[in-house]
A and B are shown apart, each in its own frame.
Chain A
Amino acid sequence: MKFEAVIGLEVHAQLKTKSKIFCGCSTQFGAEPNTQICPVCTGMPGVLPVLNKVAIEYIIKTSLALDCKVNPLSRFARKQYFYPDLPKNYQISQYDQPVSEHGYLDVQVDGKTKRLGITRIHLEEDAGKLLHEVGSRQIDGSYVDLNRTGVPLMEIVSEPDMRTPQEAHAYLIALKSILEYLDVSDCNMEEGSLRCDANVSIRPVGQKEFGTKAEVKNMNSFKGVQKALEYEIARQIKVTEEGERIVQETRLWDADKEMTFSMRSKEEAHDYRYFPEPDLVPVVVDEKWLAAIKATLPELSSQKKERFVKEYSLPEYDAGVLTADKNLSEYFEATIKGYANPKAASNWIMTELLAQLNAANKTIKESLITPKHMREMLELIDKGTISGKIAKTVFEEMFASGKMPDVVVKEKGLVQISDEGAIAKIIEEVLAANAKSVEEYKAGKTAALNFLLGQVMKKTQGKANPGVVNKILKDKLS
């Protein structure tokens, strides 16, 4: 029997507001434990929450970018459970009236576009962090750091529309791109500003009803999500084929062992006892506010991609690669500012730069080659100062040291020789030293020409302008 997977994702993204969702404390990451706290976010007796309006604006922006319907009235609710990282022992979240619902996201998988539904987007407060040890030093108990408590968290719930781990991966990449374009979240999975849980089930191909799902948690990279899904789908198929039943449960992904493990069922037997938060009034979003937020929406990747194709005459593929990451698209546009050959820039960025960054595990923001470096290097090529081949040497040096291309050229003596007299002289020397090859060429062996060309380049350490060499060589041999 053939099976297909049914996958839905729940993504939590921390919003990059300056202050927390219900108090004035800073949201800065990485501060000393319990230095960004106040009576409100530590749940002192008698405190009350006051909603940070910016958080609502960010979530509305996201909703609009994902074509969600923004509810004119949404409401907060208390989600109740006891845990030491949750000072009130309830989380202010949203339940039956989220900020927005019914959107979608188009993703590209294997060259095809697939539309994935968004069920809802809602706002809630983040919890704190438990510390069981500090660094390598064991401490004498469990401690709680409440700096993160109350950081605004946006939960984006997808429809169970994904059928493969690749689709889930593509969804996450596309979603991250949108959040970055909107500048509403840092989307850093390692720092925990983006988190993802997956609901997975399998069913025989052709069956309409969903199978019993497992919730997979604890994945801390996009690749990890894909791997966890691959594992979990294979596990469920195996269990089913062995004639056993899938149990509804929460499973944790172990990135080292590359397996999912069942959480004890006791911990997930939660009844959250949601009820409307009486300390907050409903969030009312009128047409005027919505329009004002709409007006501030930046150009998103899909729109930018279209523009790149039109404005810079780039192939679809190039435009797609360059706009998938907001920072990369900005890098590209900075590079070609005042530069006439966007396709050349695109080639260098997509092939050389991305490959090097990838190998060095760096982001575009960390690149020592700035758009200025890149543009000046391209200009040196265009002017004939360096050849494309020399440019690769220049590129590598810039990547390693951050030196400007003209400096590298000068220091390494990489200037291209285009002077016809100088080249003619070298050619004459080469022809004299390789009489046999000259004979062969004249006898009709065209391959001999390439050999002679190579000899010229060798003699000039690759600096001779290949076009000029080719022309003079042919002249001399004819």
Chain B
Amino acid sequence: MDLFNLTAHELTAKIKNKEVTSKEVTENVFKRIEAVEPKVKAYVTLLKDKALAQAAEVDAKIAAGKEAGLLAGIPIAIKDNMNIKGTKCTCSSKILNNFISPYNATIIDLLSAEGAVFTGKTNMDEFAMGSSTETSFFGKTFNPWNLQAIPGGSSGGSAATMAADEAIMALGSDTGGSIRQPASCCGIVGLKPTYGRVSRFGLVAFASSLDQIGPLTKDVTDAALLMNVIAKYDPKDSTSANILAPDYLKSLQNNVKGMKIGIPKEYFVEGMDKEVEKSVREAIKLLEKLGAQIIEISLPNTEYCLAVYYILAPSEASANLARYDGVKYGYRTPDANDLLEQYEKTRGEGFGPEVKRRIMLGTYALSSGYYDAYYLKAQKVRTMIKNDFEEAFKKVDVIITPTAPSAAFKIGEKMDDPMQMYLSDIFTISVNLAGIPAMSLPCGFTSQKMPIGLQVMAKHFNEEAIFRAAYTYEQNTNWHKEKPRL
């Protein structure tokens, strides 16, 4: 019997009831990895030995009748920008190619405490900068639905493991759409929690005020289950919110009666992909039929989101990535004659072109004489964008939009045109700027059988509303049950 294609909520029951062991699940998942990984290339590091040891520990606990945790024996794939002690953490960059983490990210400790098993580290755009997982130093990841297409990014590896059943659950990080856009491309569920909901300690920073870790899963229930484990206040992260998280499984009600759903007109514009628009409109219609009230709303500052993001995120990144200098760890150029040359060559050779582009952008925006015109102004507009959402959420419980302007595009299609690539995140970026939570879940396919994603947003710390709307939609559709043929 195959186990790799099941969900965590199905498997935890089976493991606890001793129908299957964690070892069997883990071995089965690795069998699947060995079969499809040559085509998909979702991982940069596999942790098979460690995973089997973790699985054996869980099995021993269960055999002894001990409490084994909420995710006992569940194989989880971790994006390669989260630290697992004693394991490579490369961010898919040459500059961290040889870096072994000396510590655990908080989410790794939380997952371990609940009995999770780590399958490996997944591929990503270098330092999470990209929307296609094409900027990885270790090569591309391929979309399981169409191996000629990108899996989305930057959490493309994690999303691909879900579509290809190369793990039971996965974690990604989202700075401008890096969980939701690949979830949309791969036809799975991806949630970016409220900023501060999940600890960032141990997540390699891209843009500190925007980064957030979140689940990529095969269905909405698993996302809630994973959130129950990772949504915890962390004193090691000063921006972590000291607010007790609810039991998200309780918000999985198949009922949207009386729920107010906002449809922002700025997200449905002339020239958008017809198939995407059709699927999203149909999803909205279905929710209306199920009892939700559909309200047209406006988020007037939407048009500035992309510009604001591409000033603020690179600004923070330019400082966050300054530490990669070859002095303490990571790649160091083999031939430098003095300190300056060591810096220049190490960074020149260690970073890829997209990372360099963003470091340059950020350095420029923060330079004296430009700071007020770029960084400061962008911060002011960011506040206006936040206010737009605050106003909107006075009227509605959730906001629904497409996750991405199109389905997954062909590999190489946008690599030479950064502006086109940046536009892939046009619908997801506002959520990070506002700090609110949002989920992407499958809502259909294109005529080419490529998945389409529906984005559901809610106000700060109201993931419960997202779960309710998303779960209702999922329970009344079958998109999430479809699997690619590999």
Contact = CB atoms under 8 A, between A and B. Distances in A.
Interface of A: 39, 42-51, 78, 80, 82, 84, 87-90, 144, 271, 273-275, 278-281
Given A44-B103, A48-B236, A50-B236, A273 B368 contact: yes
A89 B236 contact: no
A82 B91 contact: no
B239 interface: yes
B327 A271 contact: no
A87 B209 contact: no
Contact of B83 (A45, A82, A279): A45
Nearest to A89: B322
Nearest to A271: B368
Interface stretch (B113-121, B131-139, B200-208, B264-272): B200-208
Interface residues of B, number: 44
Contacts of A43: 323, 328
Nearest to A90: B319
B238 A48 contact: yes
Contacts of B91: 45
Interface of B: 81-83, 89, 91, 96, 99, 101-103, 105, 200-205, 207-209, 235-239, 315-316, 318-319, 322-325, 327-329, 339, 343, 363, 366-368, 371, 375
Given A45-B91, A48-B236, A281-B239, A275 B322 contact: no
A274 B209 CA distance: 16
Given A45-B83, A84-B327, A273 B367 contact: yes
Given A48-B237, A274-B366, A278-B316, 10 more contacts: A45-B96, A45-B101, A48-B201, A87-B328, A90-B319, A273-B318, A273-B363, A278-B239, A280-B238, A281-B239
Contacts of B375: 275
Contacts of A42: 328
A181 B318 CA distance: 42
A153 B315 CA distance: 26
Contact of A46 (B203, B316, B371): B203
Contacts of B209: 278
Residue among A49, A144, A278 with max Cβ neighbours from chain B (10 Å) = A278
Contacts of B322: 80, 82, 88-90
Contacts of A78: 319
Contacts of A90: 319, 322
A275 B366 contact: yes
Given A84-B339, A89-B325, A49 B238 contact: yes
Nearest to B90: A45
| 7 smallest beta-carbon distances between A and B, as pairs | A89-B322, A278-B208, A273-B366, A278-B209, A45-B204, A46-B204, A43-B323
Contacts of A274: 366
Contact of A80 (B201, B205, B319): B319
A478 to B, nearest CB: 89
Nearest to B96: A45
A353 B41 CA distance: 79
A412 to B, nearest CB: 63
Given A273-B367, A280-B238, A87 B102 contact: no
A87 B236 contact: no
Given A47-B201, A49-B238, A89 B367 contact: no
Contacts of A88: 319, 322-323
A88 B205 CA distance: 12
Contacts of B205: 45-46, 279
A93 B319 CA distance: 14
